[in-house]
Structure 1
Amino acid sequence: MHTFNQFRLLTFLFVVCATLVVCYFLPHIVLDNTSGPAEEFNMANTKQLTVNVTVQKTPKPSEVFYRESLPPQKGGERQQPSLEVLLLHGQAFNSKTWEGLGTLVLLAQRGYRAVAVDLPGFGNTPHLEIGKVDTDRADFLLAFMDAVGLQTPVLVSPSRSGQFSIPFLMFQNQRLKGFVPIAAVGTNHYSAEQYHKIQTPTLIVFGELDTNLGVQSLKNLKQLPHHTVFKIPAAHHACYLDEPDEFHKALLDFLTKF
């Protein structure tokens, strides 16, 4: 009987010791197995930055806010981006929209430098006196790109931001590697002859249910000689919000062509 009780005691002590060992080492094992991907994801996360931009008709530098995501580190070293992507935004949105959709991090994880700007009067960028004509808005976008070191990005432009992107396409298209208008405004300000001169590869995106700006912009932008069209089924004007997976798939496929 004495031997049996002794055996039970030893068994109990063994179980307690084994439990303590597992509790101590298991968190370290889990941490070691996950620290690599977690670090890689964090390195692609968005940074919030401001930059001073001076345009021709502005005597003083103006603060413009933007978010940026860069490719993750590999082997302790930052990867050089294989492509630059500049994201504008629509009337009711700002740069945080692209952060919330996961677009910034997604682009960074594909090896791209992604920059999303708050246009004047939106988000964290105050209203700026940059002029009211198309060339003024194109000058602003050019000054911003120069300030943040964007050389020849692919420009993504939804809706109201067409006030900036369409003039830029007309007057500064040599600074664009590609163009992705999403039911952009202002496409009717230019002639077929002007569109025919633009050689920038373009992905025209619109929602199937957007029978206003989506249809109008498609009609005008189809005059660009190097374009493809992507219609997102069952999506409204802000089609990238309705169907972000479909939009991201089309965008990433377009970017692989560069």
Structure 2
Amino acid sequence: MICSTIIFCMLLARSLLIKAPVEDVNLLNKILSNSITTDAVNIIVKNATVVLEDKTILYYLEAKSPNKVKYRGNLLYLHGAAYSSHDWNRNKPSIMQISAAAGYRTIAIDLPGFSYSRTKSLISNDHSTFMSLVIKKLNIHKPIIISPSASGSYSIPYVLNNPNKIGGFVPIAPCCVRSDGWENFTVPTLIIYGSQDRASISAQLLKIPTGNLVIIPDAPHAAYIKKPIDFVTVLIHFLYSIHPF
């Protein structure tokens, strides 16, 4: 039953992707180039802390692309409720290292109250404003926002309120999906789920005219943890569709 549901959703998504910017939506058939994986191992991921305008003490990781690699854009990684920025820097090469080796300034943050991020005052419930403060403070121009699970409560209000300020959106089995606004959302979007995820695929996200749905085989809710190479390969080729050679 689960298999048939997944196949139906994939077919439905493909029927909705006629206007998608990715010519080959079967991103699972792609591979990473040897140059990316070779360069990635040597990329240094630094950590730092900054204080935002709302007094949030924000911890983050950052990796920059090698000088020899063409700079393509900026990535901002969020995290789910049981995770942190360091989950994007697991293994070697990590997802952060591979992202940087592919030509992207790569940043992963700890959301307020998680891991190393702390606050000196009460945090506003205005998560869209928080995202604006982060992007302004870290000087992230038109980021592509990668947002798993519970971080959807931060990313979704921001991307819907500020579509002209982002370069792309990658929701990974996100929560808190609003029911309105997606039909007119024209930002390049990659929607990712694991085939073993018990969460239902968001019917609202499937309304995005520039959306691409990828279901990673044999992967749970946190598909990027169980299948990091599959995940980052799909991600990089999606990014290259936005920023071609």
TM-score range, shorter chain: 0.7 to 0.9
Q: How many positions carry a matched residue from both structures?
A: 202
**Structure 2 length normalisation: TM-score?**
0.77
More helix by share: 1
CA contact (8 A) 1:119 1:125 kept: yes
1:116 maps onto 2:108 in alignment: yes
Which residue of the partner structure matches residue 130 of structure 1?
Answer: 123
1:88/1:118 contact within 8 Å kept: yes
Residue in 1 aligned with 2:233? 249
3-state DSSP of counterpart to 1:139: helix
Show the counterpart of 2:219: 235
Aligned mates of 1:139, 1:235 — CA distance in 2: 33
User: Structure 1 stretches (4+) deviating beyond 3 angstroms?
Assistant: 40-43
Q: How big is the shift at 1:108?
A: 1.1
Residue 134 of structure 2 corresponds to 144
User: Aligned to 1:256, what secondary structure does the other structure show?
Assistant: helix
Unaligned runs of 5+ in 1: 1-39
Residues 47 and 195 (structure 1), Cα distance of their counterparts in 2 relative to 1, 3 Å cut: same
Partner of 1:65: 59
Amino acid at match of 1:73: N
Instruction: Please give the per-residue CA displacement for 1:95-115, whole angstroms capped at 9, x wherever unaligned.
Output: 010011401111111111000
Change (3 A) 1:41 1:241: closer
Q: More deviation in 92-101 or 159-168?
A: 92-101
Offset of residue 63 of structure 1: 1.7
* Distance of 2:153 and 2:144 partners within structure 1: 17
d(CA) in 1 for partners of 2:89 and 2:238?
A: 20
- Of residues 190, 196, 208, the one that matches 1:209 is 196
- Partner SS for 2:207: coil
Map 1:64-213; keep pairs closer than 5 Å: 64-74=58-68, 81-101=71-91, 102-127=94-119, 129-132=122-125, 136-187=126-177, 189-191=178-180, 194-212=181-199
Identity of aligned residues (%): 30
Q: Normalised by the size of structure 1, how large is the TM-score?
A: 0.74
List per-residue Cα deviations over 1:137-183 (Å, max 9, x = no partner). Answer: 01101110010110101100000100001111111121111100000
Confirm or deny: 8 A CA contact 1:158 1:183 kept in the other structure.
yes
Quickly say closer, same or farther: Cα 1:186–1:45, change in 2 above 3 A: same
Give the structure 1 partner of residue 204 of structure 2.
220
Cα shift readout 1:199-244 (whole Å, capped 9, x = no counterpart): 11100000111132xx24x322001111010001111111111111
The residue matched to 2:203 in structure 1 has which SS?
Answer: helix
Name the structure, 1 or 2, with higher relative contact order (CA <8 Å, separation 6+): 2
Distance 2:109 2:184 in 1: 28
Pair 1:196–1:160, CA change in 2 (3 A): same
- Measured on the aligned residues, the alpha-carbon RMSD in Å equals 1.9
Secondary structure of the residue aligned to 1:219 is: coil
